[in-house]
Amino acid sequence: MGSVLSACGLNFKKEKVQGERHLRANDREFNLSFKYANNAIKTSKYNIFTFLPLNLFEQFQRLANAYFVFLLILQNRHKNDRQVNNRKVDVLIDGQLKNEKWMNVQVGDIIKLENNQFVTADLLLLSSSEPLNLIYIETAELDGETNLKVKQALTITGDLGDNIDRLAAFKGEVRCEAPNNRLDKFTGTLAVEGQTFALDNERILLRGCTLRNTEWCFGLVLFGGPDTKLMQNSGKSVFKRTSIDHLMNVLVLIIFGLLACMCTILAIGNGIWEYQQGSSFTVFLPRQEGADAALSGFLTFWSYVIILNTVVPISLYVSVEILRLGNSYYIDWDRKMYHTKSDTPAQARTTTLNEELGQIKYIFSDKTGTLTQNIMTFNRCSINGKSYGEVVDFTGQRIEITEKTEKVDFSWNSLADPKFSFHDHALVEAVKQGSTEVHAFFRLLALCHTVMPEEKTVGNLYYQAQSPDEGALVTAARNFGFVFRSRTPETISVVEMGTNTTYELLAVLDFNNVRKRMSVIVRSQEGRLTLYCKGADTIIYERLHPSCSKLMEVTTEHLNEYAGEGLRTLALAYKDLDEAEFQAWRERHHEASTALEEREEKLDAIYEEIETDLLLLGATAVEDKLQDGVPQTIEQLSKADIKIWVLTGDKQETAENIGYSCNMLREEMTEVFVVAADTAEGVREELVNARKKMCPGSPDEAPFQKSRFGSKKPKLVLDEKADGEFGLVINGHSLSYGLQKDLQLELLRTACMCQTVICCRVTPLQKAQVVELVKKYKKAVTLAIGDGANDVSMIKAAHIGVGISGQEGMQAVLSSDYSFAQFRYLQRLLLVHGRWSYLRMCKFLRYFFYKNFSFTFIHFWYGFFCGFSAQTVYDEWFITMYNLVYTALPVIGLSLFDQDVNDRWSFQYPQLYSPGQQNQYFSIKAFGKILLHSCYSSLILFFIPYAAMHDTVRDDGKDIADYQSFALLAQTCLLMVVNLQLGLDTYYWTAVNHFFLWGSLSVYFAVSFTLYSNGMFLIFTSSFPFIGTARNSLNQPNVWLTIFLTTILCVLPVVALRFLLIQLRPTINDKVRYKVRQAKAVLPPPVRRFPRRRISTRRSGYAFSHARGYGDLVTSGRFLRRPVKSRPALFPLAESPIAENSPQTYRNIGEGMPSS
Amino acid sequence: MSKPLKKISLTKLLHQNKNKWSFIKLRQFYQSLEKILKETCSYAELCTNNGHWLDYTGTEMNSSCFSCSSVKPDCVCELTFSFSQLFEGPVFFYYGLSNYYQNYRQYGVSKDANQLSGDTTYFLSPQDTCSPYQYDSSGKPIVPCGSIANSKFNDTFKLYLMVNGVKTLVPFDGKGIAWWTDYNVKYRNPATVNGSLAKAFDGTVKPPNWPKPAYELDPSDAANNGFVNQDFLVWMRRAALPNFRKLYGRITGGDYSQGLPAGNYTLQINYNYPVVNFKGTKKVIFSNVSWMGGKNEFLGLAYLVIGCLCVVMAIVMLIVYAKYKFSDDDDMQ
């Protein structure tokens, strides 16, 4: 029933607040009685039944009538939803597994997930293929974190295994919390056979996660579709409208006011005229019975409402939608936004927001998957004072590494990872020559980590790393001949240059945020006891043996160099241990690790004890690979005065690092503030201090914009200027305080003064809150860009949401307005498409209003000369055809093709973007100007023909000042003027523009002659009273002289004014256009950009773990994996082009998409 | 042309009222100025501002048409004027009406295009837009129906040249004064019944203001009757503006093909058309045409003024361009 209801979109029952959830496994009837949502989702706004009412409502909001455009979007969204809803999963129904569509999954069903499948709904984990009922999931979609997470089933359910009969007979009863959006918390109980077990987040698989490295698992559906935490977190779909839409609503009101004004004036005029003149003119025009001046005025009012209604831009809405659609297609068709590798074109999923793309002021970006590729590569290393990884040519000049650069051949190593690439041959030579330091270096990398290996087939190694950095390092060691092969709680097996060795693992001194290092103590087969340590360089340096000081200096230089390139660095050190000494330490360690109180502190102290007098081996540099062109894009965008905020779930160090490597945080910045206080007061203090530093004179009270009307809307906060460039880094804790009501203004003011803002450890909801905050208090257009499910909320909240497509998972794309494959396309989307769209839209609106106002105002003036009788100036046919035929196409041509400068110049001068941000091209003020301009034009257009035709005759003495000739003259003048004005407004002439313009004029004359022809009159006598008018008046010289004079008079002042403005007050636009003309359209050759090198203070890049490592698990044996057995690969590897082409990844997990 | 006249009277008046200058005097001054201008224009000779014209409304006591201006059928009045030199031909003779709203919407739609194109099915049931001139009081359809037709201008004129004290008729050529398309396409007489146009109008009545039915408009020329009567066609082409002139006839015949010779003229007017009650005026105009159509100084003046303005603006812009030509893009980076 529920499914039927929700399929109809009529599930308004949602209003009911759901209490506790109660469900039974394998008991559909029981569960259905609660009418819980099934697993279908809906991101589209309408369906076939709700389309009409909802759409009408929205149309009413927009005063628009272009529903056909929405139909297109509707279909688009539905397609995507269908794709998700129709994914297949195995569901246990009636004692056997059936392949069912996702949307048919019900609460209480037991489903089977296989490796690399998306989790179908929010599930209670029952059992898994892995020992101890563990499973691994990737949550990148959900929170942006890339490391695998472990979930474990209850033993009672884990024992069910994959025994279908037992699973089908399972009669658990779950009571749990109502649907909510907290990703990190879950409470509930499971009752099985009278026993009750507590359920927490450890047992729950959330929709949006992906099952990794687990052959299969079974789960019980707790929440389906819209009730899942993912969908609960995604915020509601709101109907997005552009600021121009909002402005249009205001303008329409103004226009209605204007219309009422004009009609009132004319009605009063008519009343007076009737009273003074009409009453005596009855000899020739008798009145209807009972009619008097007042009634006549009243009727006239309504007559004029009909005649002058052309000021109300009804056809404008249709045209607006057409050109938005057209501009959307440009985005879809843009080959420069097509990503070949992933075969992903850019897609405008919402076709109604284009011009807003030209007005973006704030960009909120996700980090993982958006700025970065989510791929770590081992790039450089320094071993014993020698730096490797750079490619130099024969002159010693550094060569930029490109795809064509020759890669190191690892074929000598049968266990090497083929995806790994390295370009410096010297390192391989060093390894082959058997340099002890180099060997020690890689041995360390092969031993000191918490990576879990998986050998699906012999020699086919896969590493599961908790952090991508570690994976990259271990993979590097593997390729250089130190292959980490397997581990047990007590041993680590390594293949060292082809020979199998096993090390006894004695202790893992795990990583945590304070220690910022990890060590292992191993005993080699020869019995040598060694401690291997890797960690943040500053930390390691403090613990080095004095003898290393010389090496330290050289290594520091290298570290600086690496850091300057934005690489994440680690220092590596080792120490040979004395057996006796170690045994003593081991005892103390055992004591500490079993201590009941302050175990952590005690352990840290013990670790500290042994990690001294280390010998430096060298340093590694791992690149968190940015997506292509990210720094350049960010530089371009910031030149366009767009502020970029990074909102990431990652930890502070990682985020900061990326901030530096993609040029958002710069060394030249005056200061980068870090807000990391733990109390509201602390946060306030830090924010205020930062603000005072940026602008000492900044007032305590936020500078509000004076609101013109006593509106209920929150007041807008004005921009404040900072002296210098600043950056702000704020962590999740502080952010949650900052977003509280009393602090949010403070946060906003400080953040908006900074060039760059980075928020770390942000939850999906906070992302949306940040966006909402800026939206609420700033008169600015916001854009959110992200790739994962965790970005959905902010994508929905921002004015424009952009999804990075072409990767796994669809959530972000599903709720986005635009999607493309690479972050770098954002600059093309904004600086080219957005700017053009805005330009075109504004030009279109300005011109459209101009042409319609000029058209209409002439009626107004004529009213004074025809007794206010609502006599139209033009032929009725002309009135019908004016917007529909004569002027429709040229203006659409203008607004589809016009551009001030081409795309390359747009990139050359990103400053061209700023007029859009300031709303310069279309605003109330601009509207006022148009009003005046069309007023002027209409005066000319009426009174010049009036004066010229008054008392004149044809050259054969016959009539030419008759109404019909005058109408023809007036409409011809009008058409000439508006077309010439269009020509003046057109910057960019294409054949189509010419065709439309000249075509429309020719059509006008052709149609006029046709409509006024004998034939038409003879067929439809009463419909074509203008017979012969065109022939009789357009052959007169004075008619043409009048047309010419009118046109000149209308256009000359505009030309003169524009010329003077360009000379006296040139805008950035004028300047660039001038330059383009100067350059004769030859663009200076694009500057070759090399990655910018930073000469910088070193920042520790020890960011290889998000949380405490798995040291405990590794040694406790909980993680013990069964011996390697050949296991068929469930999914073909490297199906995704990303994986295929990326040089080397830590992600050694099959990349195949789940069958869907 | 009329300017010197104004100037003269103005200076005269100023001179007269030099010592008693006050607001009241100012009003008197305007009133007298108006009077002088009118008098000068109406009775002594043709007014020459914007063509050569003569007002014959007869609102002034001393106008010869004064007695006719209060409605009186078949009233005849005469105006005399003179040309001091040859008025070059071909000369067109117009009647002009002012404050006459032929462009009033309800007036404009008050006709039946089908009826006027000779479709007899519309003779018996004219369009509703013709109301109140759709049916007469006895319920008979009016043909041609509607206000426009009913209000057809029905003053007639005869022009005489005084040659040696003898009145010589100057003939008006009333043929071919309407648009070709109106005469040949838009307006058609109904098919004759038994060779008689009048029979085709059987069962209809004439518009109430008309002295004769449509088929008897021109007794002198059988072909110039019905809906294709030239005067009717001219009238039916309604004017765009409340002050308008309409062609009455050309003066092209024989002796006058070169134009109207200098001399004294008498215009005899059959005064039928009432305009006084709505403050309208009637006038007659003699005019000739140039290559670009009727005489209208506006276009020439406008082009002169705008041409001058353009030159001035061009110079201003040249100066601006030379002086302020915006510097290269230093501030662009």
Report which residue type is found at A611. Answer: E
B145-168 pLDDT tens trace: 999 999 999 899 999 998 888 888
Please state which of the four CATH numbers 3.30.365.10, 3.30.70.920, 3.40.50.2300, 3.40.1110.10 is assigned to the domain occupying A372-625: 3.40.1110.10
Does A1028 sit within 8 Å of B179, measured CB to CB? yes
Find the residue in B nearest to A947 (Cα).
B298
Q: Does B121 touch chain A (CB under 8 A)?
A: no
**pLDDT at A13 exceeding the cut of 50:** no
A170: CB partners within 8 A, 6+ apart = A25, A26, A110, A126, A157, A160, A192
Report which residue type is found at A518. Answer: M
Does B185 sit within 8 Å of A277, measured CB to CB? no
Q: Does A284 touch chain B (CB under 8 A)?
A: yes
User: pLDDT above 90 covers what percent of chain A?
Assistant: 23
Instruction: Please tell me the least confidently modeled range out of A301-305, A906-910, A1085-1089.
Output: A1085-1089
The residue-averaged pLDDT of A977-1004 equals 94
Quick one: which of A95, A105, A161, A98 has its CA closest to A128? A161
DSSP conformation class of A392: B
The residue-averaged pLDDT of A411-426 equals 84
Instruction: Please tell me the least confidently modeled range out of A320-334, A645-659, B40-54.
Output: B40-54
A838-865 pLDDT tens trace: 999 999 999 999 999 999 999 999 999 9
Does B50 sit within 8 Å of A957, measured CB to CB? no
Distance in Å from the first CA to the final CA of chain B: 65
Across the interface, of A953, A961, A1028, the residue whose CB is closest to B240 is A961
Q: Residue A48: what pLDDT?
A: 56
Instruction: Please tell me the least confidently modeled range out of A71-75, A793-797, A946-950.
Output: A71-75
What's the predicted TM-score (pTM) here? 0.78
Q: Residue B57: what pLDDT?
A: 84
> Which residues 237-276 of B are in CB contact (within 8 Å) with A?
237-247, 250, 274
The strand pair at B87-88 and A781-786 is best described as: unpaired
Tell me the three state secondary structure of residue A843.
Answer: helix
Across the interface, of A869, A946, A954, the residue whose CB is closest to B293 is A954
Across the interface, of A958, A967, A1062, the residue whose CB is closest to B179 is A958
CB A486 within 8 A of CB A1124: yes
What region, left, alpha or beta, does residue A213 occupy, with left being phi > 0 and alpha being psi -120 to 50 degrees? Answer: left
How far, in Å, are A38, A174, A220, A649 from residue A95 at the CA level?
20, 20, 14, 41
- Read off the pLDDT band of A9 (50, 70, 90): very low
Q: Does B70 touch chain A (CB under 8 A)?
A: no
Find the residue in A nearest to B182 (Cα).
A1028
Instruction: Please tell me the least confidently modeled range out of A651-655, A733-737, A1035-1039, B245-249.
Output: A651-655
**pLDDT at A828 exceeding the cut of 60:** yes
Pick the residue with more confidence: A39 or A893?
A: A893
> Which residues 1-40 of B are in CB contact (within 8 Å) with A?
none
Does A1071 sit within 8 Å of B329, measured CB to CB? yes
The residue-averaged pLDDT of A4-22 equals 47
DSSP state letters, A1018-1035: HHSTTT-TTTTHHHHHTT
The residue-averaged pLDDT of A732-747 equals 87
**Strongest mean pLDDT among A22-36, A171-185, A321-335, A692-706:** A321-335
Q: Residue B11: what pLDDT?
A: 46
Report which residue type is found at A373. Answer: Q
DSSP state letters, A191-245: EETTEEEEE-GGGEE-TT-EEES-SEEEEEEEE-GGGSHHHHHT--------HHH
Q: Does A1013 touch chain B (CB under 8 A)?
A: no
A1102-1117 pLDDT tens trace: 444 434 555 555 555 4
Q: Residue A522: what pLDDT?
A: 92
Residue A258 host element (H or E) = helix A243-273
User: pLDDT above 90 covers what percent of chain B?
Assistant: 21
Q: Which residues in chain A have Cβ-Cβ distances shorter than 8 Å to B186? A: 1017, 1027-1028
Across the interface, of A911, A1041, A1063, the residue whose CB is closest to B326 is A1063
CB A355 within 8 A of CB A837: yes
Find the residue in A nearest to B110 (Cα).
A285
Q: How many residues does chain A have?
A: 1156
CB A943 within 8 A of CB A857: no
- Read off the pLDDT band of A2 (50, 70, 90): very low
CA A341 from chain centre, in angstroms, equals 20
A246-294 pLDDT tens trace: 888 889 889 989 999 999 999 999 999 888 877 777 777 777 666 778 8
The residue-averaged pLDDT of A1071-1098 equals 61
Q: Which residues in chain B have Cβ-Cβ distances shorter than 8 Å to A958? A: 177-179, 247
**pLDDT at A666 exceeding the cut of 70:** yes
Does B247 sit within 8 Å of A1022, measured CB to CB? no
A112: its two tokens:
């089977």
d(CA A620, CA A472): 11
A373-394 pLDDT tens trace: 877 888 889 998 888 888 777 7
Across the interface, of B117, B127, B292, the residue whose CB is closest to A1041 is B292
CB A466 within 8 A of CB A1105: yes
| Number of compact structural domains in chain B | 1
Q: Residue A1142: what pLDDT?
A: 34
Quick one: which of B252, B234, B9, B236 has its CA closest to A958? B234
Q: Does A1061 touch chain B (CB under 8 A)?
A: no
CB–CB contacts below 8 A, A to B? 220
Residues facing residue B244 across a β-bridge: B97
Residues facing residue B169 across a β-bridge: B160
Q: Residue B13: what pLDDT?
A: 46
State how far residue A295 is from chain B, nearest Cα, in angstroms.
15
- Read off the pLDDT band of A1078 (50, 70, 90): confident
Q: Does A723 touch chain B (CB under 8 A)?
A: no
A110-132 pLDDT tens trace: 888 888 888 888 888 888 887 77
Q: Residue A362: what pLDDT?
A: 93
Q: Which residues in chain B have Cβ-Cβ distances shorter than 8 Å to A948? A: 296, 298-299, 302
Pick the residue with more confidence: A1120 or A590?
A: A590
How high does pLDDT run on average in chain A?
Answer: 81
**pLDDT at B232 exceeding the cut of 50:** yes
Q: Residue A498: what pLDDT?
A: 85
For chain A, the domains span 21-68+76-234, 326-370+626-704+715-825, 372-625
Does B278 sit within 8 Å of A281, measured CB to CB? yes
Q: Does B313 touch chain A (CB under 8 A)?
A: yes
> Which residues 890-909 of A are in CB contact (within 8 Å) with B?
909
Q: Does domain A326-370+626-704+715-825 have CATH number 3.40.640.10?
A: no
Q: Residue A413: what pLDDT?
A: 83
Does B105 sit within 8 Å of A866, measured CB to CB? yes
Of A109, A245, A366, A417, which residue is the catalytic one? A366
**Which of B105, B209, B227, B277 has the highest number of chain A CBs within 10 A, making it the mutation to test binding with A?**
B105
**pLDDT at A182 exceeding the cut of 90:** no
Residue B125 placed within a domain? no
**pLDDT at A468 exceeding the cut of 80:** no
Helices A744-753 and A680-694, packing angle to 10 deg: 30
Quick one: which of B131, B281, B104 has its CA closest to A270? B104
Across the interface, of B181, B241, B317, the residue whose CB is closest to A1060 is B317
Please give the CATH topology (third level) of the domain spanning A21-68+76-234: 2.70.150
State how far residue A516 is from chain B, nearest Cα, in angstroms.
44
Q: Does B220 touch chain A (CB under 8 A)?
A: no
Q: Residue B3: what pLDDT?
A: 41
Q: Does A291 touch chain B (CB under 8 A)?
A: no
The residue-averaged pLDDT of A231-249 equals 76
Is residue A366 annotated as part of the catalytic site, yes or no? yes
Question: What domain range is B8 assigned to?
Answer: 1-40+297-333
d(CA B276, CA A610): 123
The interface predicted TM-score of the complex, written ipTM, equals 0.88
A1095: its two tokens:
């000469």
Report which residue type is found at A580. Answer: A
d(CA A325, CA A69): 7
Residue B319 placed within a domain? yes
Residue B264 placed within a domain? no
The residue-averaged pLDDT of A433-438 equals 88
Find the residue in A nearest to B233 (Cα).
A959
Q: Residue B40: what pLDDT?
A: 47
**pLDDT at B312 exceeding the cut of 70:** yes
Q: Residue A269: what pLDDT?
A: 92
d(CA A118, CA A202): 18
- Read off the pLDDT band of A237 (50, 70, 90): low
Residue B26 placed within a domain? yes
A1005-1035 pLDDT tens trace: 999 999 999 999 988 888 888 999 999 999 9
**pLDDT at A1 exceeding the cut of 70:** no
User: pLDDT above 70 covers what percent of chain A?
Assistant: 85
Residue B51 placed within a domain? no
Does A953 sit within 8 Å of B294, measured CB to CB? yes
Q: Residue B247: what pLDDT?
A: 92
